[in-house]
Amino acid sequence: MKPIFWAVVVLVSLGLTGCRQQSQVISIITGENLLQNPSFEENDKSSGRFWSIHNFPGFQFAKDTPPDGGTWSLSLTSDWTPPSVYASQTIATPPGIRDFRLTFWVKNEFGGNAVIIRGIFADTTQTVASLTTEPNKVWKAYTLTFQIPLPAPDSLRVELWAAPTELQRIITLYDLITLEPIQ
Domain of 62, CATH number, reads: 2.60.120.260
- Does residue 38 sit in the same domain as residue 74? yes
Q: How many domains does the chain have?
A: 2
Q: What is the pLDDT along the chain (183 residues), one digit of tens a residue?
A: 454 444 433 333 333 333 322 222 223 344 589 999 999 999 999 999 999 999 988 999 999 999 989 999 999 988 766 678 899 999 999 999 999 999 999 998 776 788 999 999 999 999 999 998 888 889 999 999 999 999 999 999 999 998 877 677 788 999 999 999 997
- Does residue 147 sit in the same domain as residue 101? yes
- CB contact at 8 A, 107 and 133: no
Instruction: Quote the CA–CA distance of 44 and 134 in Å, as a whole number.
Output: 30
- Does residue 8 sit in the same domain as residue 70? no
Measured CA distances, 115 to 2, 163, 177, 183 (Å): 63, 10, 10, 22
Query: What pLDDT, on a 0 to 100 scale, did the predictor assign at position 112?
Result: 74
Q: What is the CA radius of gyration of the chain?
A: 20
Name residue 26's amino acid.
Answer: I
Instruction: Quote the CA–CA distance of 138 and 76 in Å, as a whole number.
Output: 16
Sign of CA dihedral 71, 80, 111, 52: negative
**What is the DSSP code (8-state) at residue 93?**
P
- CB contact at 8 A, 38 and 176: yes
- Does residue 48 sit in the same domain as residue 109? yes
Range of the domain at 8: 1-30
Cβ-count burial 119-135 (b if 16+ within 10 Å, e if not):
bbeeeeeeebbebebee
